[in-house]
C-alpha cells in the first residue's frame, strides 16, 4: 500500500474527509499512515477551500493506535526509543489538529484504542457509533497513555475516571463516553456517517474565521485566568467583527434570510 492509500482524502462542499485506511490492522499507525495524515492536516491548514475536516476509519475499526507489528521485540535489536517516535510522529499530528483554526469532526466508526482513542479526543466534535468503544490499551503493554491522553482524559473526566480508564484499560462504550462528556454523542451505527457528514458540511458552510477563533479561545480557556480570557475575547471579537462573514451574518438577520458565509 502506498503512503497516500493509507489515508483516503476527498474534498467536497468545503469538507476534507480523511479516512484512515489500513482496515486489516484496524487502521493502526505505521510510519506511512502518520506521514499521510500529517500531510492532509497540513493541507487543511493551507487550503482556503477546506473549511472543515471529517476524520473517520475504514472497515470495522476507527484506529487501534500504534501498529505493534512494527514494535516486535522478537525481531531483536535494541529497545525502540518511544520518546523519539512520539516526538517525530504522534505529537506533531496532535498539535496540528489542535492548532488548525477550522473545525475537526471525528466519526468514530468502531473500536478506538491506544493513541487511536486519544487522537479522536483531540478533535473538536466527536460522534461515535453506538457499537464503538474507547480503550486506553496502553496499560496492557506496559506503556502510558500518549497522544495527549493523560491531558485530555484528566481535563475532561477528572482524575478518578481518567485513572480508572488508564490503569485498567477497560473499554468505555460510546454511550457511556457521551454520558461522561468525553465525546459529543453516540449515534446509531447506520446513522453515523450521514450525521457526521451533515455536521461537517454545516460547519464548513459557517463563518470559518469566527469558528476558528472560537476553537482557539475555548482551548486556551483552561489555562487562562478570567482576566486574560476577557482580553483574548476582546481581541478575537475585534478580528471577527471586521470579517466579511460578520457583515453577512448581520445583514442576513436584518433581511430575514439565511446567511451565506464565504469563510472570509
Ligand atoms: O510505539 C510507539 O511509537 C509509541 C506509541 C504508542 C501509541 C499506542 O497506541 S500504544 C497502544 C497500541 N495499541 C494497542 O495496544 C491495541 C492493540 N489491539 C487490541 O487490543 C485489539 O486489537 C482491539 C481491542 C483494538 C480490537 O480487538 P478485536 O478483537 O476487535 O480485533 P483483533 O482481532 O484483536 O484485531 C483485528 C486485526 O487487527 C488482527 O489482525 P489479524 O489477526 O486479523 O491478522 C490484529 O492483530 C490487528 N490489530 C489490531 N490492533 C493492532 C493490530 N495490528 C497491529 N497493531 C495493532 N495495534
Separation between Cα atoms, residue 264 and residue 259, nearest integer Å? 13
How confident is the model over 4-50, as pLDDT tens digits?
899 999 999 999 999 999 999 999 999 999 999 999 999 999 999 99
The DSSP annotation for 228-246 comes to HHHHHHHHHHHHHHTSHHH
208-254 has CATH 1.10.12 classification: yes
Please give the backbone phi and psi of residue 242, each rounded to the nearest 5 degrees, phi first: -95, 0
Ligand 1 atom 9: the closest Cα is on which residue?
Answer: 65
CATH number of this structure's domain 7-204, picked from the four choices 3.40.30.10, 3.20.20.70, 3.90.226.10, 3.40.50.620 = 3.90.226.10
Other residues' Cβ atoms within 10 Å of the Cβ of residue 133: 22
With pLDDT > 90 as the criterion, what percentage of the chain qualifies? 98
| 245 ligand 1 Cβ < 6 A | no
Q: What is the DSSP string of 132-198?
A: -EEE-GGGGGT---TTTHHHHHHHHH-HHHHHHHHHH---EEHHHHHHTTSSSEEE-GGGHHHHHHH
Query: Would you state the torsion angle of the CA atoms of residues 161, 127, 43, 59, taken in this order, to the nearest 10 degrees?
Result: 100
> Sorting pLDDT into bands at 50, 70 and 90, what band is 187?
very high
Please answer whether residues 48 and 12 qualify as being in contact, where contact means their C-beta atoms are separated by less than 8 angstroms. Answer: no
User: Which amino acid residue places its CA nearest to atom 29 of ligand 1?
Assistant: 111
pLDDT at 2: 86
Question: From the CA of 113, how far away is ligand 1's center (Å)?
Answer: 8
Global pTM? 0.98
Task: Confirm or reject: Cβ of 88 under 6 Å from ligand 1.
Answer: no
How many angstroms does the Cα of residue 16 sit away from the middle of ligand 1? Answer: 27
* 41-70 confidence digits (pLDDT tens): 999 999 999 999 999 999 999 999 999 999
Shortest-distance Cα residue to atom 30 of ligand 1: 111
pLDDT of residue 4: 82
Phi, psi of 55 (to 5 degrees): -110, 130
Contact 189, 111 (CB under 8 A): no
For the record, the C-alpha cell of 4 comes out as 497516500
pLDDT at 1: 79
Question: Among residues 65, 39, 191, 40, which one has the least CA distance to residue 121?
Answer: 65
Nearest atom in ligand 1 to the alpha carbon of residue 80 is: 1
Please say if the pLDDT value at position 3 is more than 90. no
For residue 125, the cross-strand partners are 105
Angle between helix axes 159-168 and 149-157 (nearest 10 degrees) is 140
The domains of the chain are located at: 7-204, 208-254
β-strand partners of 61:
111
Residue nearest to ligand 1 atom 11, measured at CA: 114
DSSP string, 199-238: HHHHHHTS-HHHHHHHHHHHHHHTTS-HHHHHHHHHHHHH
15-20 and 52-57 strand pairing: parallel
Q: Is the CB of 152 under 6 A from ligand 1?
A: no
Amino acid at each position: 500500500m502506498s503512503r497516500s492509500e493509507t489515508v483516503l482524502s476527498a474534498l467536497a462542499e468545503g469538507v476534507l474527509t480523511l479516512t484512515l485506511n489500513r482496515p486489516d490492522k484496524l487502521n493502526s499507525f505505521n510510519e506511512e499512515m502518520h506521514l499521510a495524515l500529517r500531510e492532509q492536516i497540513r493541507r487543511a491548514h493551507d487550503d482556503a477551500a477546506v473549511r472543515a475536516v471529517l476524520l473517520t476509519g475504514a472497515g470495522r475499526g476507527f484506529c487501534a493506535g500504534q501498529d505493534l507489528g512494527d514494535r516486535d521485540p522478537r525481531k531483536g535489536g535494541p529497545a525502540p526509543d518511544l520518546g523519539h517516535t512520539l516526538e517525530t510522529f504522534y505529537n506533531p499530528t496532535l498539535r496540528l489538529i489542535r492548532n488548525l483554526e477550522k473545525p475537526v469532526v471525528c466519526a468514530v466508526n468502531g473500536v478506538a484504542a491506544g493513541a487511536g482513542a486519544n487522537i479522536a479526543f483531540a478533535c473538536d466534535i466527536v460522534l461515535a457509533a453506538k457499537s464503538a468503544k474507547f480503550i486506553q490499551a496502553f496499560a496492557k503493554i506496559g506503556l502510558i497513555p500518549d497522544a495527549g491522553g493523560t491531558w485530555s482524559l484528566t481535563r475532561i473526566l477528572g482524575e478518578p475516571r481518567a485513572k480508572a480508564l488508564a490503569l485498567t484499560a477497560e473499554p468505555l462504550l460510546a454511550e457511556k463516553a457521551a454520558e461522561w462528556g468525553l465525546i459529543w454523542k453516540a449515534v446509531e451505527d447506520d446513522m453515523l456517517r450521514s450525521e457526521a457528514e451533515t455536521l461537517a458540511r454545516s460547519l464548513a458552510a459557517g463563518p470559518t474565521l469566527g469558528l476558528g477563533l472560537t476553537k482557539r479561545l475555548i482551548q486556551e480557556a483552561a489555562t487562562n485566568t478570567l482576566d486574560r480570557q476577557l482580553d483574548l475575547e476582546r481581541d478575537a471579537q475585534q478580528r471577527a467583527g471586521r470579517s466579511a462573514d460578520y457583515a453577512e451574518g448581520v445583514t442576513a438577520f436584518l433581511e430575514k434570510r439565511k446567511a451565506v458565509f464565504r469563510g472570509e
